[in-house]
Amino acid sequence: MSSGQATPAATGRPEDITAVPVRRPGRWVAAAIVLVIAVAVVRSLATNPNFQWGVVGEYLFDGRILHGLRVTIELTVIAMAIGIVLGVLLAIMRLSPNWLVSWASSFYIWFFRGTPVLVQLLFWYNVAALYPKLALGIPFGPAFIHADANKLITPFTAAILGLGLNEGAYMAEIVRAGIISVDPGQADAAQSLGMTRLQTMRRIVLPQAMRVIIPPTGNETISMLKTSSLASVIVVTELLYASQLIYSVNFKTIPLLITASFWYIVCTSVLYVGQYYLERYYGRGAREREQTPLQRIRAGLLSFRHQPPR
């Protein structure tokens, strides 16, 4: 504060209370315990040779690991994109006045939330056993394009389908919660201005629903990044499977798992920052905009520099 050096008398403000603080021995004990545990953990990390930190460093930027990282990111981005689009569609379907449309959406959500995503992944991986030939055409009529399911559904597409379709079910509930959180008066106002239902949804309801939708969607994205490691069981060489391939040869299991974990944590941290700014954007108009941490640091540095010496 710039008024820091002003005396209370000068500003006419009554003097602040100075009192002897209450002693809180419990807090000191808790802090001591935390400190001891922290030191033990750090010491163990530093001195236990089995961590093989040198090996971790060696493989951190290994081509196979980086390729695995790329596949993990691709899986996450594509599966989340499918999940979000599908989620919006399913949420609007669920709120439809037509009961068959609404019921179809409920059924989809019930089914995909009711089965483990690992089972769904294995299912898509083996879909050729169920439908050896896939065809595109008129239902119950002639088909125009034929394809061999085994060639069309590669492990990567199976992973995309499994993760994306499963995510759609969860996103649908998140989007629906967002839509019904918006005051119905907003739709009244939009419609009284002559907007159609689609315009009302797009311009008025969804942008406000975003405030409710974004935080859990961020969680879902972070969760998806980690869940994508399940694709390792259907031989997609994402980050985890890439590490497994290396340690199955050189038996340096722990350092390679640490390498994979390092990249997962880097990615989730980036997502966390992205989520913060996205929430800020969609929160506009809702409250006084607070400064971002970066702005706060910059403002802090400036005010520090401008403070006159005592």
Partner 1 sequence: MNAPMVKAEAVHKRFGRLEVLKGVSLEVAPGEVMCLLGPSGSGKSTLLRCINHLEKINSGRLSVDGELVGYRQVGEKLHELRESEVALKRSQIGMVFQHFNLFPHMTALENVTCAPLRVKNEPRDRADSRARELLGQVGLGDKVDAYPSQLSGGQQQRVAIARALAMEPKLMLFDEPTSALDPELVGDVLAAMQQLARDGMTMIVVTHEMGFAREVADTVVFMDAGVVVESGKPADVLSNPSHERTRAFLSKVL
* 278-297 positions binding partner 1, by CB under 8 A: 282, 284-287
Site string for partner 1, 244-283 (x = CB under 8 A): --------------------------------------x-
Q: What tokens were used for 220?
A: 């879902």
Would you call 242 helix, strand, or coil by DSSP?
A: helix
Q: What tokens were used for 197?
A: 């239902």
Give how many residues touch partner 1 by CB under 8 A: 23
Question: What's the maximum distance between 2 C-alpha atoms anywhere in the chain?
Answer: 92
In angstroms, the CA 257 to CA 240 distance is 8
| One residue of 32, 193, 270, 299 binding partner 1 per CB under 8 A | 193
| One residue of 21, 49, 185, 308 binding partner 1 per CB under 8 A | 185
| One residue of 128, 195, 233, 235 binding partner 1 per CB under 8 A | 195
CB of 175 to partner 1, least distance (A): 17
Instruction: Report CA-CA distances (Å) from 65 to 71, 238, 245, 249.
Output: 10, 8, 10, 14
CB of 279 to partner 1, least distance (A): 13
* 90-149 positions binding partner 1, by CB under 8 A: none
Beta-bridge partners for 137: 143
**Residue 190 within binding range of partner 1, rule CB under 8 A:** yes
Helix (H) or strand (E) holding 50: none
Judged on CB neighbours under 10 Å (0-12, 13-18, 19+), 175 is: buried
Q: Between the CA atoms of 232, 237, 240 and 243, what dihedral angle is there, to the nearest 10 degrees?
A: 130
Judged on CB neighbours under 10 Å (0-12, 13-18, 19+), 275 is: middle
| One residue of 58, 148, 188, 290 binding partner 1 per CB under 8 A | 188
CB of 181 to partner 1, least distance (A): 12
The residue among 111, 119, 73 whose CA lies nearest residue 238 is: 73
Angle subtended at Cα 247 by Cα 245 and Cα 253, rounded to the nearest 5 degrees: 135
- Closest to partner 1 by CB, 88 vs 109, is 88
CB of 276 to partner 1, least distance (A): 18
What are the E-state strand segments in 24-108?
none
CB of 207 to partner 1, least distance (A): 5
- Closest to partner 1 by CB, 133 vs 197, is 197
Piece of the chain touching partner 1 by CB under 8 A; list 51-59, 111-119, 184-192, 227-235 = 184-192
Piece of the chain touching partner 1 by CB under 8 A; list 98-106, 145-153, 189-197, 245-253 = 189-197
Site string for partner 1, 196-235 (x = CB under 8 A): xx-x---xx--xx---------------------------
Residues near partner 1 (CB under 8 A) are 183, 185-186, 188-197, 199, 203-204, 207-208, 282, 284-287
